[in-house]
């Protein structure tokens, strides 16, 4: 039976889904720093697809690749707790200000360095931007086929894969050959929870910068247990053309950002009493909005 080499692209994102009152500033705008940093939800769906292939084909390796600040190493630990074999944190100021294209370029150069890969799996999109661009752009940069919006791997045999896709208005089943970049939809199965044994095993996994920051002497532990070392790559660890990196390598520029402040409108505030509801319904009927 064939074993596969899989890379999961994951991103640490601010949890923009439920912006609570504590994350709102007095002027009605969002305090981004107050939002918790999480594993991008659809990247977890992607990880699950990778782990399912690993379950079925022993010997398969699943590595997580993430780009971001040092604290983004947390998504690699989360992956290890769920069954991933390792990961690489791509972190450097040279990547700061990257739009989706510059991000995709940096990721694709890291992927080239990671060696032969059968499958690259990413979430469809990240909740902080909702662009759904990085998966297809990484595929293009690597000159690989992409299959987007995957919900299920229906069959995998040698180098042939059958995938079920969820489209805006329907479904599609496609058959193609590896290697391949696939993006996974949020409608795909949820990721398994952390495994208690793996959590114990990897809770001290750290990147080099994290170790330096923690200022604790675990040196002996890391010398004995190489699996606790999370690889940290800077721009010097991959081959890059600096004109394609960061802000310089980003064709799109943010011209202006306007914080959304709620504008009040003349509203009728009514109670939930029978009389108030009945009056409202009568007003709506009389003005032909309903009825």
Partner 1 sequence: MNNVFVYCEIEDGQVAEVSLELLTKGRTLANELACSLEAIAVGHNLEGVAAQVIPYGVDTLYLADDKRLYPYQTLPHTSVVVKLFREKEPQIALLGATSIGRDLGPRVSSALNSGLTADCTSLEIGTHFDRRANKNYESLLYQIRPAFGGNIIATIINPDHRPQMATVREGVMKKSILDPKYKGKVVQLNVADYVDDSDFVVEIIERHIEKSRLNIKGAPIIVAGGYGVGSKENFNLLFELAEVLGGEVGASRAAIDAGYVDSARQIGQTGITVRPKLYIACGISGQIQHRAGMEQSAQIIAINTDPEAPINSIADYVITGSITDIIPKMIKYYKKNTK
Least distance (Å) between residue 167 CB and partner 1 = 4
Number of amino acids touching partner 1 (CB under 8 A)? 79
Among residue numbers 239 through 268, which ones bind partner 1 (CB under 8 A)? 250-260, 262-265, 267-268
Q: Tell me which DSSP letter residue 72 carries.
A: G
Question: Are the C-beta atoms of residues 86 and 64 closer than 8 Å to each other?
Answer: yes
176 part of the interface to partner 1, by CB under 8 A: yes
What is the nearest approach in angstroms of partner 1 to the Cβ of residue 272?
3
- As beta bridge partners, residue 44 has none
- State the minimum distance, in angstroms, from the CB of residue 14 to partner 1: 8
Q: Which is nearer to partner 1, 132 or 199 (CB)?
A: 132
Interacting residues with partner 1 between 108 and 137 (CB under 8 A): 127-137
Which residue among 26, 158, 170, 220 contacts partner 1 (CB under 8 A)?
Answer: 170
List Cβ neighbours of 290 (8 Å cut-off, separation of 6 or more).
281, 284
Q: Is there binding between residue 280 and partner 1 (CB under 8 A)?
A: yes
- For partner 1, the binding residues in 207-246 under the rule CB under 8 A are none
Q: Tell me whether the omega of the peptide bond preceding residue 183 falls within 30 degrees of 0, making it cis.
A: no
Q: Are strands 160-167 and 37-39 parallel, antiparallel or unpaired?
A: unpaired
Distances in Å between the alpha carbon of 268 and those of 151, 273, 283, 284? 45, 14, 12, 13
- C-alpha 91/C-alpha 223 separation (Å) is 23
For residues 41 and 186, the answer to whether their CB atoms sit within 8 Å is: yes
Q: Does 36 bind partner 1 (CB under 8 A)?
A: no
By CB under 8 A, name the one of 2, 29, 212, 214 that touches partner 1. 29
Which is closer to partner 1, CB of 38 or CB of 89? 38
């Amino acid at each position: 039976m064939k074993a596969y080499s899989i890379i999961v692209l994951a991103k640490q994102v601010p949890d923009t889904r439920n912006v609570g009152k504590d994350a709102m500033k007095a002027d009605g705008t969002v305090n981004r720093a107050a939002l918790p940093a999480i594993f991008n939800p659809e990247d977890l769906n992607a990880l699950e697809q990778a782990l399912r292939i690993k379950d079925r084909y022993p010997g398969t390796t699943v590595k997580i690749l993430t780009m971001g600040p040092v604290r983004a190493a947390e998504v690699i630990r989360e992956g290890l707790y769920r069954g991933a074999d390792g990961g690489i944190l791509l972190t450097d100021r040279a990547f700061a200000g990257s739009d989706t294209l510059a991000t995709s370029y940096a990721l694709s150069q890291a992927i080239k360095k990671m060696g032969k890969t059968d499958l690259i799996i990413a979430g469809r999109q990240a909740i902080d931007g909702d662009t759904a661009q990085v998966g297809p752009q990484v595929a293009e940069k690597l000159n690989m086929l992409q299959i987007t919006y995957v919900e299920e791997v229906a069959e995998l045999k040698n180098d042939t894969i059958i995938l079920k896709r969820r489209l805006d208005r329907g479904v599609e089943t496609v058959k193609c050959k590896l290697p391949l970049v696939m993006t996974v939809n949020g409608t795909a199965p949820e990721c398994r929870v952390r495994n208690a044994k793996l959590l114990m095993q990897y809770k001290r996994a750290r990147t080099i910068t994290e170790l330096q920051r923690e200022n604790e002497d675990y040196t002996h532990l890391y010398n004995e247990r190489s699996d606790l070392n999370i690889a940290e790559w800077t721009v010097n660890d991959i081959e890059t053309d600096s004109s394609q990196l960061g802000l310089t390598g980003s064709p799109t520029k943010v011209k202006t950002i306007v914080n959304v402040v709620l504008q009040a409108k003349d509203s009728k505030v009514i109670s939930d009493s029978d009389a108030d509801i009945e009056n409202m319904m009568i007003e709506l009927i009389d003005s032909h909005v309903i009825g």
